[in-house]
A and B are shown apart, each in its own frame.
Chain A
Amino acid sequence: MNLRRLFALAWKESLQIWRDPRSLAIALLMPLMQMGILGYGVSLDIKRVPLCVFDQENSQQSRAMVNSFVASGWFRLSRRLVRDDDVRDAMDRGSCSAALVIPVDFSRRLSQHGSAAVQAIFDATDVNTTNIALGYAQGALALASQQMYARWAAAHGVAATRVGQVDLEPGTWFNETLDSRNFIIPGVVAVILALVGAQLTSLTISREWERGTMEQLISTPVTALEVMLGKLLPYFAIGMLDAGFCLATAVFWFHVPFRGDLFTLLITTLLFLVVVLGIGYLISVRIRSQLGASQVALLLTMLPANLLSGYTFPIDQMPGAIQTLSLVVYARYYVSILRGVFLKGSTIDDLWFPIAGLSLYALLILWLAARAFRKRLD
């Protein structure tokens, strides 16, 4: 390997990137836009579920019941209904995704039997949302009945005893505020880098073919390895720039807590860049048109990175076969590394599994990439 030729290629490639508005836009603007769109757009939190109330009794107690739902902050009173049919209608129109039906004899039963039932109906087309809303409803209801019991006890001069009741005091670690953004933003960074990285290098070889500069280049003594390393070098610098930008945005703009150390972050990011840039380069070697290469790169990175990296859908909830499949999705390793470093303050020792996965990947890709390029026209 001749370093002089390698650096000449890197220098030439940098000049071309600098002078090509399209390359520059992909390199610098795409991460910025995606960080904005995904950072703000993707949230798994369900807040203020629209709630319709069909209060058949409309008593002081039933109103207190409704109030406690709204006061919990998880529900937003969207409509008051007056007829049975209205519930169905409101659901159909989508004006609420949960309905609370309080029966006519609500307070009577409560005072006579000490217990009463309310009906909660959910629009279960979105199972995820429904489960969460159901949890909210149970929480709100538990709170409400506790308050009622306390009031009842006070009114009857009975000490509010709580016999045999076990309370759960939940503690949430690593993401204490249960803010899904903290969980998602590190994943967003990984997905963006996977996408942009492959896009950047996917054009580098096909550009030479398309512009007719390859024929003369391969007639020189330059070796395939020099071509690969020389071309990847400038994109490595851009990739690090993008990574730095995305990670800084995560910390300083979206206020994702950063508890890890920069060294772990740096090493793993470098490793991840080797993989994504190498994959783009491989695609570029295989597909000789710039448009084709760029589209293949998009397809090959976007879907797996979005669906199987665990950035939105947890991998351990997937069926076994899909979990196995996700092992080839390199983004998943970086997603779990970033989450670990950001939220748990994990170090290299803690992250041995994803780091080993990425390292294997990097070696495989570099090996394939170094062999892929042939200095031949056919």
Chain B
Amino acid sequence: MSSLSTTTAADAVPAVRVHELSRAFGTLQAIDNVSFSVAPGEIFGLVGPDGAGKTTLMRMLAGVLAPDHGRIELDGIDVQHQSEQAKRHLSYMPQRFGLYEDLTVAENIFFYGELFSVATSDRRTRSETLLHAAGLTDFRHRRAGQLSGGMKQKLGLICALIHTPRVLLLDEPTTGVDPVSRRDFWAILYQLREQGVTIVLSTAYMDEAERCTRLALVHGGRIRQCDTPARLKAAMPGSLLELVAADPRAIHGALRHQPGVLGSLLMGDRVHVRVDNATRRMPQLNNFLGEQGLDIQGMEQVEPGIEDVFVALLDEEAPA
């Protein structure tokens, strides 16, 4: 369980096994022949832009949307055909807040506890612990509709965890959540992982993606790459140069079509330029910028982040 490598994950009995999954909406192929496995205790991240198919995939994993083709197993249980049995062992938190806004925090927790037939004493202790961890103890009698965005998401997580799921599915759980709540949120996730709960989450936040044990880069309904964050970064073709400049936009535009430049990404006041060979291209680019009269405050080789990996992946697919 401690191993993060793909080989070991595949060897173990997978907590989630997705096999050749497809789903179309009209002419749009939302999920296109996707296969992957998640080992017990992993935090598996689905990363990709909006419209990549993350939510469709999550919904099929949760058994609320039927696939056109393919098969999903949770702990060896077929989600399609043994739906009720599978649902006993999973918890799903949809992207849109799915709890009852006209019920209080405590009432929502009670309701979901009952739906999962949690013993009363278990429910009490679990909800105390979770409310405390989420910082919601003082809000238990407040209507869910009157909570802040972050509190709502934490309440969603509490309701999802009021029974002991083997697999926890979180669809963009921290979108629109303040940093403090996000920290609480992740603290709970790490605890769960220690208890052996498998977590599959989708996220658009790259810093959050880095926290996952394994990542699937989703684009156009397909998984383009799937590995640990470290390996994904290592596998990125080329090296990354970070340029700090007063006018990063101009730098970004000027360098894109220079020889040896594989891609360029604007990141605030910086530009991430991916080149085939850092040592060879650094002086070349420096000279070029000098000729063009474009000032930079610095240029250095840096380790890529997940976002760089993702953008590199898209660049490789569709060369400009």
Contacts and interface: CB of A to CB of B under 8 A. Distances in A.
Interface of A: 2, 4-5, 7-8, 11-12, 15-16, 19-20, 211-223, 375-378
Contacts of B91: 219
Interface string B70-88: 0000000000000110011
Contacts of A378: 65-66
Interface string B90-102: 1111101111111
Interface in B88-119: 88, 90-94, 96-103, 107, 110-112, 114-117
B59 interface: yes
B245 interface: no
Given A12-B100, A16-B103, A223-B84, A5 B66 contact: no
Contact of A215 (B94, B111, B115, B116): B94
Given A4-B117, A19-B102, A212-B98, A219 B112 contact: no
Given A219-B87, A221-B87, A223-B84, A377 B65 contact: yes
A12 B87 contact: no
Of the four ranges (under 10, 10 to 19, 20 to 34, 35 or more), the interface on chain B belongs to: 20 to 34
A134 to B, nearest CB: 60
A126 B191 CA distance: 80
B64 A220 contact: no
8 contacts: A211-B100, A215-B64, A215-B92, A218-B64, A219-B90, A220-B115, A220-B116, A375-B64
B114 A8 contact: yes
Contacts of A220: 87, 112, 115-116
A378 to B, nearest CB: 6
Contacts of A16: 100, 102-103
A287 B38 CA distance: 38
A216 B173 CA distance: 13
B62 interface: yes
A15 B94 contact: no
Contacts of A219: 62-64, 87, 90-92, 94, 169
Given A219-B92, A221-B87, A213 B114 contact: no
B198 to A, nearest CB: 16
Contacts of B88: 221
Nearest to A17: B102
A187 B97 CA distance: 45
Contacts of B114: 4-5, 7-8
Given A4-B117, A5-B115, A7-B114, 17 more contacts: A4-B114, A5-B114, A15-B103, A213-B99, A213-B100, A216-B93, A216-B94, A216-B159, A217-B115, A219-B87, A219-B90, A220-B87, A220-B115, A221-B115, A223-B84, A375-B64, A375-B83
A370 to B, nearest CB: 15
A377 B115 contact: no
Interface string B41-80: 0000000000000000001001111100000000000000
A254 B115 CA distance: 46
Given A15-B103, A377-B65, A216 B98 contact: yes
A214 to B, nearest CB: 8
Interface of B: 59, 62-66, 83-84, 87-88, 90-94, 96-103, 107, 110-112, 114-117, 156, 159, 169
Contacts of B94: 212, 215-216, 219
Contacts of A213: 98-100
A217 B101 CA distance: 14
B111 to A, nearest CB: 5
Contacts of B93: 216
Given A215-B98, A216-B98, A219-B90, A12 B65 contact: no
Nearest to B95: A215
Contacts of A211: 100-101
B117 A5 contact: yes
B97 A212 contact: yes
A260 B238 CA distance: 91
A222 B84 CA distance: 8
Nearest to B60: A377
Most chain A Cβ neighbours within 10 Å, of B62, B98, B110: B98
Contacts of B63: 219, 375
Nearest to B92: A219
Contact of A377 (B64, B84, B87, B103): B64
A215 to B, nearest CB: 4
A232 B59 CA distance: 28
A223 B83 CA distance: 10
Contacts of A12: 100, 103, 107, 111
B81 to A, nearest CB: 14
A226 to B, nearest CB: 9
A211 B103 CA distance: 13
A8 B116 CA distance: 10
B96 A221 contact: no
A52 B107 CA distance: 71
A12 B115 CA distance: 11
Contact of B59 (A8, A15, A217, A377): A377
Contacts of B117: 2, 4-5
Can you list the 8 inter-chain pairs with the closest CB atoms, starting with the nearest? A216-B98, A8-B114, A219-B92, A215-B94, A220-B115, A212-B96, A221-B87, A219-B62
A375 B59 CA distance: 12
Contacts of A222: 115
A376 B91 CA distance: 16
Contacts of A20: 102
Nearest to B88: A221
B267 to A, nearest CB: 34
Name the residue in B84, B101, B114 with the highest tally of chain A Cβ atoms < 10 Å from its Cβ.
B114
B221 to A, nearest CB: 16
Nearest to B56: A377
Contacts of B112: 220
A174 to B, nearest CB: 49
Nearest to A16: B102
A15 B107 contact: yes
A19 B107 CA distance: 13
Nearest to A218: B64
A290 to B, nearest CB: 14
A213 B63 CA distance: 16
